[in-house]
A and B are shown apart, each in its own frame.
Chain A
Amino acid sequence: MKAKATKIKAAILCGMLGTAAVPAVSDGMDYSTVTDLLHLVMSSDRTVYTRMIVNRLAVEEGVIKASEHYMDEKALVLPAQMFRYGAEMVAEETDEFSYSLLSLWPINKQNAPTTDMEREGLEYIAANPGENFYGEEDLGGTTYFTAVYPDVAVAEACWACHNDHKDTPRSDFKAGDVMGGVVIRIPMD
């Protein structure tokens, strides 16, 4: 599901990516290329946090745990929480793009899809492992390029916590399952 090859003069975004000096970029990039690159940074940072911090210290070394209630329990923030805090910080800095972590089976109902395209994208990535979803949607008079990327259960702590949580609407997640999706949105107007 690839949107038509619309181009973005992505000077602002390229500056954020630290690639403004690269000539090829100044000619413009497909929206999907921009969201793919943004997602690559997001997912890499989060995966490194999951492996090198949470798996190493909480699972392998056992010196600290990761918890949803990290303040009360003096624990590490969960990888998903770290990701959300990053999204909040970006939202404070710019409206050139936004991102969020949503799910068809959210523990927190605020993280359920709120637009038809979000739902369509989440259903698509859940049914098509390894694929992303791209589309355009009109929200409040603005047209957005919207990309949805699979958010996968990469550590036992992910699916065990979701399966056992008192508020979970689904309790049969297993390794590698698509548990939700990263939604990246760029205004096109």
Chain B
Amino acid sequence: MRRIAPLLAAVLAASAGLAADPVASPAGLDGFVRTDRLPMPPDPFLAVGRTVWGATCENCHGGNKLTGAPKITSTADWAPRIAQGMDLLVAHATDGFMGPRFTEMPARGGNAALGDAEVAAAVAFMVWASGGAEAALDFARPFQTKENEHE
């Protein structure tokens, strides 16, 4: 078991990274990106985020240049944001944020019905699909633990 555990961890880590790698690139996927062009993440919390993203975030973050929203799958757009940390990204998405060039991120993506965990999951999914798999999976882990505690 001692030998298997590191191997299992390595396989899981590799599969988690590979799942997002085919879509993440400096410019991101060509054209407008809908949910069906994005892979299913290996984590249930991120999978919830994928659904939330498709319903609320896709309109702007799918590649809608006029909104000024960073495009999902674009590492050029997302790397400097991911470097600021997941907590700040989630806070901006939850509370709303005005960018340095006065681009507007509405609170909860303009969908007031979204709960805090749903917003966090959507952000984590977007990070995961945009070159930040490690940061997203680290962020998702406590949520996964909480779910297991309830089982």
Q: From known contacts A159-B110, A174-B59, A176-B60, infer whether A56 and B68 are also in contact, taking CB-CB under 8 Å.
A: no
Residue contact A52 to B59, C-beta cutoff 8 Å: no
Q: How far is the CB of A88 from chain B (nearest CB, A)?
A: 22
Taken together as a complex, chains A and B put the C-alpha atoms of A186 and B66 apart, in Å, by 24
Residues of B near A153 (CB, < 8 A) are 67
A175: CB under 8 A from chain B?
A: yes
Query: Is there contact, CB below 8 Å, between B102 and A52?
Result: yes
Q: Are B64 and A51 in contact (CB under 8 A)?
A: no
Whether B60 contacts A175 by the Cβ 8 Å rule is yes
Interface residues of B in 81-117 (CB under 8 A from A): 98, 101-104, 106, 109-111
Q: Is the interface of B mostly helix, strand, loop or mixed?
A: loop
When distances are taken between beta carbons in the complex, the residues of chain B under 8 Å from A175 are 59-60, 67, 106, 109-110
Q: How far is the CA of A152 from the CA of B58 in the complex (A)?
A: 13
**A129 with B111: CB separation less than 8 A:** no
Can you list, as one digit per residue, whether each of A108-134 has a CB less than 8 Å from chain B (1) or not (0)? 000000000000000000000111000
Q: Is A167 engaged at the interface, CB distance under 8 Å to the other chain?
A: no
Contact A176 B64 (CB under 8 A): yes
B140 CB within 8 Å of chain A: no
Is B66's CB under 8 angstroms from A43's CB? Answer: yes
Contact yes or no, B66 A154, CB < 8 A = yes
- Which one of B59, B62, B102 contacts A56 once the chains associate, using CB atoms below 8 Å? B102
Count chain A residues whose beta carbon lies closer than 8 angstroms to a beta carbon of B.
21
Q: Which residues of A contact B106 (CB under 8 A)?
A: 156, 175
B49 within 8 A of partner (CB): no
| Listed residue (B31, B66, B111) with the most chain A CB atoms within 10 angstroms of its CB | B66
Q: Does A55 touch B at the CB level, under 8 Å?
A: yes
- Using A130-B31, A156-B110 as known contacts, say yes or no to A176 and B102 having CB atoms under 8 A apart: no
Q: In the complex, A153 Cα to B106 Cα: how many Å?
A: 11
Q: Is the CB of B64 within 8 A of A152?
A: yes
Residues of A within 8 A of B67 (CB): 152-154, 175-176
Q: Are B111 and A174 in contact (CB under 8 A)?
A: yes
Chain A residue with minimal CB distance to B106?
Answer: A156
With A47-B66, A154-B68, A156-B110: A129-B59 Cβ-Cβ less than 8 Å = yes
The chain A residue with its CB closest to the CB of B33 is: A130
A55 to B56 CA separation, bound complex (whole angstroms)? 22
Q: Which residues of A contact B (CB under 8 A)?
A: 43, 47, 51-52, 55-56, 59-60, 129-131, 152-156, 159, 174-177
Other 14 A-B pairs with CB < 8 A, given A59-B104, A130-B31, A176-B69 = A47-B66, A51-B68, A56-B102, A129-B32, A129-B62, A131-B32, A152-B66, A152-B67, A154-B68, A156-B104, A175-B67, A176-B58, A176-B59, A177-B59
Question: Chain B: residues with CB nearer than 8 A to chain A?
Answer: 31-32, 34, 56, 58-60, 62-64, 66-69, 98, 101-104, 106, 109-111
Would you give 16 A-B contacts (Cβ < 8 Å), ordered by A? A47-B68, A51-B104, A55-B104, A60-B102, A129-B59, A130-B64, A131-B32, A154-B67, A154-B68, A154-B104, A174-B59, A175-B60, A175-B67, A175-B109, A176-B67, A176-B69
